[in-house]
């Protein structure tokens, strides 16, 4: 590849080139979410095996008042910002309650999928006509800096769905540190963490029998075909997931079912896949309370409040900047 070519390449192309040239091969899960990926993820959330959404929904429904009180303790108005808002079904529970309580707040959902953002905005407009909503379509990594806008209202930044579990630990810490730089002392972060539990329960959430999770993973190959001129035949790859209890992490892979080559025009490369060779797709980290506390501390935050579901499957953790209790 010439230097000129590399400067012309999209970031997506550069990442795919780096991932498929590595040993073992990998693709970044941040590219799962084109409009189709975002739609498939909404299907995953409805699967009986995908306990995460149900557990977080239960926390929001059963502890709405406590969440409201913790968000507004020491603040009479807030900017509610949601990173990767998706369909906002859980957030709607909080919004309804906040409006009923007459809270002065506005809601800014940020999602990389235009389709997801449009659907959420039109639903919330009709469900909550009095809500001030400022949707933003884009990459939440890129908008972190713009959160520092000088507004004197408390910002509560929500990062739900255990989306943080898709980051390796160092990336998660860097992400939260960057977020901390954009926040002031009165602001809060509200993060959804999937907890360590029976490994069989965890694995079933990433390996559903109806194959929606497989479609979700394979969709990234289809996206490479469409956006980068790839020649992946998705029928020649299959989805595989495992959970390692010592690391508390589920991982998913696409496995090449036969020896094959795939060409990707935009990066001017042909890749060889041996039979049964894996492409590492995604990590889904699970947590203990100690891991969450350490992650908050290492990122410049401390835990202000914990919200667990009834069976400790899931934790929504409210963080404040370290050393700034209200
Ligand atoms: C794991 S889902 C979580 C959805 C929702 N927060 C929930 O808990 O149900 C991730 C969502 O984040 C969006 N997303 C993924 N990566 C993103 C990025 N880098 N910037 C903005 N949104 C992103 C996806 O489109 C998707 O809607």
What would the pLDDT profile of 190-249 be if each residue is shown by its tens digit?
A: 999 999 999 999 999 999 999 999 999 999 999 999 999 999 999 999 999 999 999 999
Q: What is the pLDDT of residue 201?
A: 97
Q: How confident is the model at residue 113 (pLDDT cuts 50, 70, 90)?
A: confident
Given ligand 1 and candidates 83, 86, 140, 165, which is best to mutate, with the most ligand atoms within 8 Å of its CB? Answer: 86
Task: Report phi then psi at 316, rounded to 5.
Answer: -100, 120
Distance CA 215, CA 239 (A): 8
pLDDT of res. 277: 98
Atom of ligand 1 nearest to the CA of 45: 9
Distance 85 CA to ligand 1 centre (A): 6
Residue 71 CA: distances (Å) to CA of 28, 66, 93, 156, 190:
33, 9, 14, 7, 9
CA 243 / ligand 1 centre spacing (Å): 22
Confidence of residue 1 (pLDDT cuts 50, 70, 90): very low
Residue whose CA is at the smallest distance from ligand 1 atom 9: 161
Which mutation among 37, 91, 121, 163 tests ligand 1's pocket best, with the greatest number of atoms within 8 A of CB? 163
Cα(84) to ligand 1 centroid in Å equals: 3
Query: Over 90: is that where the pLDDT of 163 sits?
Result: yes
Decide if pLDDT at 3 tops 60. Answer: no
Maximum C-alpha span of the chain: 62
Average pLDDT of 268-277? 98
């Amino acid at each position: 590849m010439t230097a000129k070519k590399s400067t012309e390449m999209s970031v997506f192309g550069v990442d795919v080139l780096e991932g498929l040239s590595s040993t073992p091969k990998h693709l970044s899960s941040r590219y799962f979410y084109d409009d189709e990926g975002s739609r498939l993820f909404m299907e995953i959330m409805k699967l009986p095996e995908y306990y995460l959404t149900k557990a977080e929904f239960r926390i929001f429904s059963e502890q709405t008042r406590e969440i409201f009180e913790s968000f507004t303790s020491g603040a009479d108005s807030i900017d509610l910002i949601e990173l990767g808002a998706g369909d906002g079904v859980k957030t709607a529970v909080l919004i309804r309650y906040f409006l009923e309580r007459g809270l002065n707040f506005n809601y800014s959902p940020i999602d990389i999928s235009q389709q997801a953002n449009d659907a959420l905005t039109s639903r919330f407009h009709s469900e909550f006509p009095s809500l001030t909503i400022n949707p933003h379509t884009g990459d939440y990594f890129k908008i972190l800096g713009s959160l520092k806008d000088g507004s004197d209202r408390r910002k509560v930044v929500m990062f739900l769905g255990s989306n943080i579990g898709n980051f390796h630990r160092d990336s998660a810490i860097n992400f939260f540190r960057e977020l901390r730089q954009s926040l002031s002392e009165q602001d809060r972060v509200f993060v959804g963490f999937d907890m360590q539990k029976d490994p069989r329960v965890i694995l079933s959430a990433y390996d559903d029998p109806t194959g929606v999770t497989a479609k979700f993973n394979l969709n990234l190959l289809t996206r490479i075909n469409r956006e980068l001129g790839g020649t992946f035949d998705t029928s020649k790859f299959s989805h595989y997931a495992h959970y390692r209890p010592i690391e508390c992490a589920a991982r998913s892979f696409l496995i090449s079912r036969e020896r094959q080559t795939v060409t990707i025009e935009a990066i001017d490369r042909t890749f060889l896949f041996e039979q049964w060779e894996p492409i590492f797709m995604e990590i889904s980290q699970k947590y203990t309370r100690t891991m969450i506390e350490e992650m908050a501390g290492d990122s410049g935050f401390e835990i202000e409040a914990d919200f667990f579901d009834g069976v400790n499957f899931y934790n929504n953790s409210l963080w404040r900047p370290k050393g700034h209790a209200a």
